[in-house]
Structure 1
């Protein structure tokens, strides 16, 4: 399997050091190729044609091509032999070896170069290269040590930013903040262009949180003085610079609120398996900053939209309702005026439903096409579409992926592609992230790391592989990848799972779903008109749990675990009532999916089952305090609500089996979490709504033929079914036994990957036949009734 990297406009070390934790840094450590080529007997073609300078020039020239790295190494080896005391060829050889995936060889060469460069003006460049190699393998402590030496020798803005990246990736937020402040004061900071300077100063503000500034000052992080000092620090970081883009004091408050919000988000995701103490709760302060911005400048739409997003994500229910009304009216006004929308696609997905969501996505797609698509390149790529299968008779299936190893896409993708018929499909994975080790084992024909490639470069990379069908697993969730798709690099583009709504553009030919999540027709306005045609599969979701977690199955049987006492021991470990002494209702979704209407339903259930408890996860942490307050204000005592930390995925399923019944969310149901919970053998009770995200659990349960027992049609029925299962032991045991049997069925449309993939292949074959036959694109391609 080949591994290639696509580079955009020469992503050099100097302009690409920092790209982590969702921040947009002015520098990022860039894209490192993972070329699995053998050095073999490669030699420098220019050997013998010149001296040291000629060999170095030849090596640098060959290093520009991923296909000639072995030649580049040979030229640098020859240069090193001709000038044994020069560190430069060893440094260049080390960087090339790192790109070729030979890390040990790279580090050996760079350490020799460091010894030769000691005391010279070249040494800082060697240590910067060492940083690059260590950062490429996430060895952040070693990366920090290397770049610290470079900083000592040459205190440049770029090196300080690299140090900040290393500190932040090691969890040292204060150290990262100090490094960025030093970067702002470095003598070469004026070399940054306006965009880079704005990014630098914004990142200083992001890390100028109350906790970080408090730690620097030695004060208590919850004091009013620290909050003030945090704002002052942010203001000082951007004051006096015309490049900073602060048009008013309102903008200062808005950007500080954004800094606090993003600090919480970074810490929340980086400590997904950590303790509550590892998360920040700056919600009230962030909302106060957004409110202050709107008070100073009433039409500061970004502040009002950000207030909605922060309130929505952190369960500030009164603020959520107030700001939602404003944002909804704003979108309707901007749509009517033909103005650019002040919202991101992901915010819109959380905020809107039906026709308004469809209209917003259509406008956002139009803006993306206008601003990020090169019409000439798009026409060129469409003219070059493959008209028939490849020379070996196979269809080239491109998969556009942007997810980390714990996301549902990554959980299912590797076993899914291992089952696809490789006599029919050649599979190319286009990954939007940095080089990711977990992809190395995926059974695909080629992995292309897109890195920082822009829309044109990324689209050309896809088109150059003669992709017939592009399966886009992120769409508007990751706009950079969406720009590739908008350039139409393949004859057929299908959106599946990663973006559970319309993309708003016919550049995406199909959205894949099943009869439960998709409306009856693409034009069904009651559930939001879709720009795409429908590819209706037997099941929307697929799970790889049986392949990856089979060892857990003996522990997930209700009868066996209760007989052995294992279940009671597990409940005691978690802090839940012993098995048989108290029914455990649970919900393991993120708390931003919780609404007052859902909490009211849970209160009705708990009131009807006085011995029951409710088990939730504190993710995000700020939601716990607010949900507890809501429940306690309506008579649910604190001891009846159990919050626990998130855990690593392999631990979660075992713990989830301790629950009795999962009470699903209304507006945004479980997806991956529902699959995890059902694999644990725990029934999931759901009430489907209109949108795809509100019907995901219903889709899974229907595919498993559990809808009669576990899919409600109203809030009253949802409450009644939950109470019935909690108070009727025989019925509960029957339903849980049925869940276990459906999970273990040989032909499960959800948990048997081969069965699911046969449905996908039928869908891919159908859409290709329609295109190959030059038929008008059908509105619906339905293979949902196909039998495996």
Structure 2
């Protein structure tokens, strides 16, 4: 998440008035007590008051070394030596950090510079010997180097800024074109900006500010090689401007110049180690290159300097998560290795400490949830509810959603009542559209209101649609170009359903594009999907505007959104309207309430025509079922019951839905079934120990022994499908049904029992059961659901007959026919396009067999 924060102030920083109590002295006292976090906080405050205070830079660097964060100590120690170039103590600390970080070439450069400055030769000989030993393979710890000590303020010299130019001689005479250039940049008139500056720079080649702005304009135009040249020239002319080197680092990232990236960010941080945006950019770059310890240290520093910089929180959590998951030898960075304990624990502690506003908690919770740290998110949100009398209306909804992921049903009834009332009454957003799907009692009209609230947040992107260049002219005899936009072209539920469809598209009539915004996980599904499309375009590194322009330049006729309001979606691209027709399908079970979406692909069960008033999109109906299956899926060998953790005998109820879909009301019914069916077990998917502990506790409350619950962890898709065959009956959830999990169960011959609800998400399993020819497995309410489940568990002959019908359906039912589904979907695309070419607006399209 590169941050492009720009400072246009070319003057020197004016220090704030010092506090009555010197924070540097407070930092020294805390440092001596061993309270490093508090010491670092005081040192930072001392530098905010007086940015050129050399001892504060030095002591902060020493504190970072002592905390095992040696990489982040270097900019502060380098800056200290810039302020006091002849200090042997400052230079030694810098050498110590370089040696322990494995930066031996930089250590040699420091010794050479120290020699030229006339520092004691005998000391420099020791330093050379240490570097030579490390170069020969010795561990720095074996050298017994003394850790740098604290500096006190006894003989502190007056503050003095580095003697480095921050303005060019030409700047005063070019203030008016400078201000015009800034206005052009901020308004997005990038080509005009670059053209005007090229003319001016011909006459004023030493105008550093002009080279800087030209470089930024070239970056915006994606001309990164030219941008690097301009920014490099600007940094030479204005060597005291840290943000120029920061922007140079960003440009080098886009070019893939790893050495240029490292050099630029390190130079920027050495000039201004208090600039949180530069630390964040360095962290983001390190994270993308797999240098997780480096990313962790840089992001940690960014968060400490600016706790509400959301991009840094993301980098910190991602780096910490991967650090804890990987062995240290897999990391290419070699920092000073102190015993920091769990990187993730440390990261979460730091982020919690920095929360000063409830909005920060609301921003942090999704980042924690993304890496499975639901309990940490719950803790932060609950503390914010208690701590802040005035809090964002979405705080309660976010809290309940994180609780749902752990089946943590504390305060369920009272919180649900409050949240439901807020959703129904408030005109502003109180819950995300995805979370709203999971709230019992919400009606289709409620979900439309929530979706519209979310769609309104993309208005700024809709306003920028005019910035896109026109699409190329379409040849009358060319194939229809279909683009699929998703972050799930990898091992993901959506890919498991659609891979066979993509492979079966009629290439004589359709040209198929994938626009992938997810990282390449290197798995077999990713490789398979790359082969399934005519064009597989990775847009992860492109901005929303650049990605939309790429889609338009490709001449996409119909753009299919496969994400909707789910994690890692890029709705901003759709809001920019890169395609004349835009459709949402499959990824989100419902409408988006957005004026830039023309059609919702559904079937008559999930979105019956009488509910059309609750959708802003025109509903394009498929005739059989709205979700495909992959006829080419791989299935492993079925394990034994013992291998799957199941008892040798007894009926197996199963639900492999994500735990957030389970409600106390549905769990009541499951426990009643276990009590009514002797020796039966309930086989559930659990992604964490907390889920298992919470469900066992809830079972005990309902007088069901915890041994009756059997938990399964995530497995590769072939193994998961194979174990499903051991279940006798799949029990669905409400108000969010099984989607891919129900499809998987039916494919493996396991009957699925569902309960038909009102909303799209509550009708998905019913759609699948109709398509497979088993409508009798669709209950009307939870009482009916429980009664049917008990009858099937008690009457083996009836269940066996249903399983036989399910097996027989493999050769005839629409559910299993991937080719038939593909032809129906293609016919729907053609009808959508035909209406458009006839000048007709989007309108409901009835289900017709191709």
Is contact 2:641–2:647 with CA below 8 Å preserved after alignment? yes
Is contact 1:431–1:450 with CA below 8 Å preserved after alignment? yes
Aligned to 1:327: 419
Q: Report the CA distance between 1:255 and its aligned residue.
A: 3.6
Question: Partners in 2 of 1:70 and 1:484 — Cα distance?
Answer: 26
Question: Partners in 2 of 1:452 and 1:67 — Cα distance?
Answer: 11
Q: Report the CA distance between 1:178 and its aligned residue.
A: 4.2
**Structure 1 residues 171, 307: closer, same or farther in 2, change over 3 A?**
farther
Is contact 1:8–1:457 with CA below 8 Å preserved after alignment? no
Question: Partners in 1 of 2:818 and 2:683 — Cα distance?
Answer: 31
Aligned to 2:433: 345
Q: Report the CA distance between 1:639 and its aligned residue.
A: 0.9
Is 1:309 paired with 2:401? yes
Is 1:571 paired with 2:641? yes
Is contact 1:280–1:621 with CA below 8 Å preserved after alignment? no
Q: TM-score, normalised by structure 1?
A: 0.66
Is contact 2:486–2:515 with CA below 8 Å preserved after alignment? yes
Is contact 1:395–1:426 with CA below 8 Å preserved after alignment? yes
Is contact 2:646–2:710 with CA below 8 Å preserved after alignment? yes
Q: Report the CA distance between 1:316 and its aligned residue.
A: 2.6
Aligned to 2:312: 200
Q: Report the CA distance between 1:400 and its aligned residue.
A: 1.4
Is 1:741 paired with 2:846? no
Matches within 5 A, 1:486-501: 486-501=575-590
Matches within 5 A, 1:528-539: 529-539=614-624
Structure 1 portions without partners, runs of 5+: 1-6, 13-59, 73-94, 101-105, 111-122, 130-146, 239-245, 269-278, 557-568
Is 1:403 paired with 2:495? no
User: Residue 662 of structure 1: SS of its match in structure 2?
Assistant: strand
User: CA-to-partner distance for each residue in 1:544-573, whole Å, 9 max, x for gaps?
Assistant: 543132x65xx56xxxxxxxxxxxx61111
Is contact 1:536–1:783 with CA below 8 Å preserved after alignment? yes
Is contact 2:2–2:284 with CA below 8 Å preserved after alignment? no
Aligned to 2:732: 664
User: Residue 570 of structure 2: SS of its match in structure 1?
Assistant: helix
Structure 2 portions without partners, runs of 5+: 7-214, 228-249, 325-336
Question: Partners in 1 of 2:225 and 2:367 — Cα distance?
Answer: 42
Aligned to 1:274: none
Question: Partners in 2 of 1:487 and 1:302 — Cα distance?
Answer: 26
Question: Partners in 2 of 1:676 and 1:149 — Cα distance?
Answer: 54
Among 254, 274, 285, the alignment partner of 2:379 is 285
User: CA-to-partner distance for each residue in 1:713-749, whole Å, 9 max, x for gaps?
Assistant: 222221122122222222222211222222x21x542
**Structure 1 residues 203, 126: closer, same or farther in 2, change over 3 A?**
closer
User: Residue 586 of structure 1: SS of its match in structure 2?
Assistant: strand
User: Residue 512 of structure 2: SS of its match in structure 1?
Assistant: strand
Matches within 5 A, 1:116-155: 124-125=259-260
Aligned to 2:781: 714
User: Residue 835 of structure 2: SS of its match in structure 1?
Assistant: helix
Is contact 1:657–1:680 with CA below 8 Å preserved after alignment? yes
| Bigger mean CA deviation after superposition, 419-428 or 299-308 | 299-308
Is contact 1:403–1:410 with CA below 8 Å preserved after alignment? yes
Is contact 2:497–2:740 with CA below 8 Å preserved after alignment? no
Is contact 1:311–1:319 with CA below 8 Å preserved after alignment? no
User: CA-to-partner distance for each residue in 1:318-372, whole Å, 9 max, x for gaps?
Assistant: 434333333333344441xxxx424433233334432111112123223322x22
User: Residue 511 of structure 2: SS of its match in structure 1?
Assistant: strand
Q: Report the CA distance between 1:476 and its aligned residue.
A: 3.1
Matches within 5 A, 1:313-462: 313-335=405-427, 340-351=428-439, 352-369=442-459, 371-374=460-463, 377=466, 390-434=475-519, 438=526, 441-462=530-551
Is contact 1:510–1:533 with CA below 8 Å preserved after alignment? yes
User: CA-to-partner distance for each residue in 1:423-452, whole Å, 9 max, x for gaps?
Assistant: 111112222234565266333222232225
Is 1:603 paired with 2:666? no
User: Residue 781 of structure 1: SS of its match in structure 2?
Assistant: coil
Is contact 1:683–1:735 with CA below 8 Å preserved after alignment? yes
Q: Report the CA distance between 1:498 and its aligned residue.
A: 1.0
User: CA-to-partner distance for each residue in 1:150-180, whole Å, 9 max, x for gaps?
Assistant: 99999997578656876799797x8865443
Among 367, 383, 389, the alignment partner of 1:262 is 367
Question: Partners in 1 of 2:617 and 2:537 — Cα distance?
Answer: 27
User: CA-to-partner distance for each residue in 1:110-135, whole Å, 9 max, x for gaps?
Assistant: 9xxxxxxxxxxxx9538679xxxxxx
User: Residue 822 of structure 2: SS of its match in structure 1?
Assistant: helix
Is contact 1:462–1:490 with CA below 8 Å preserved after alignment? yes
Question: Partners in 2 of 1:69 and 1:485 — Cα distance?
Answer: 26
User: Residue 814 of structure 2: SS of its match in structure 1?
Assistant: coil
Q: Report the CA distance between 1:672 and its aligned residue.
A: 0.9
Q: Report the CA distance between 1:66 and its aligned residue.
A: 12
Aligned to 1:755: 820
Aligned to 1:512: 601
Q: Report the CA distance between 1:411 and its aligned residue.
A: 2.2
Aligned to 1:20: none
**Structure 1 residues 732, 344: closer, same or farther in 2, change over 3 A?**
closer
Higher relative contact order (CA 8 A, sep 6+): 1
Aligned to 1:50: none
Aligned length: 598
Is 1:693 paired with 2:787? no
Question: Partners in 1 of 2:759 and 2:435 — Cα distance?
Answer: 15
Question: Partners in 2 of 1:766 and 1:749 — Cα distance?
Answer: 21
Is contact 1:613–1:642 with CA below 8 Å preserved after alignment? yes
**Structure 1 residues 721, 488: closer, same or farther in 2, change over 3 A?**
same
User: Residue 755 of structure 2: SS of its match in structure 1?
Assistant: coil
User: Residue 741 of structure 1: SS of its match in structure 2?
Assistant: helix
Question: Partners in 2 of 1:96 and 1:201 — Cα distance?
Answer: 22
Question: Partners in 1 of 2:289 and 2:689 — Cα distance?
Answer: 21
Question: Partners in 2 of 1:684 and 1:171 — Cα distance?
Answer: 46
Matches within 5 A, 1:104-123: none
Aligned to 2:684: 616
Question: Partners in 2 of 1:611 and 1:436 — Cα distance?
Answer: 42
CA RMSD of superposed structures (Å):
4.6
User: CA-to-partner distance for each residue in 1:237-256, whole Å, 9 max, x for gaps?
Assistant: x4xxxxxxx7xx453xx645
Question: Partners in 2 of 1:449 and 1:168 — Cα distance?
Answer: 15
Q: Report the CA distance between 1:406 and its aligned residue.
A: 2.1
Question: Partners in 2 of 1:148 and 1:610 — Cα distance?
Answer: 67
Is contact 1:283–1:314 with CA below 8 Å preserved after alignment? no
User: Residue 686 of structure 1: SS of its match in structure 2?
Assistant: strand
Aligned to 1:771: 836
Question: Partners in 1 of 2:424 and 2:607 — Cα distance?
Answer: 25
Is contact 2:621–2:847 with CA below 8 Å preserved after alignment? yes
Larger Rg: 2
**Structure 1 residues 489, 540: closer, same or farther in 2, change over 3 A?**
farther
**Structure 1 residues 70, 609: closer, same or farther in 2, change over 3 A?**
same
User: Residue 571 of structure 1: SS of its match in structure 2?
Assistant: coil
Question: Partners in 1 of 2:392 and 2:750 — Cα distance?
Answer: 47
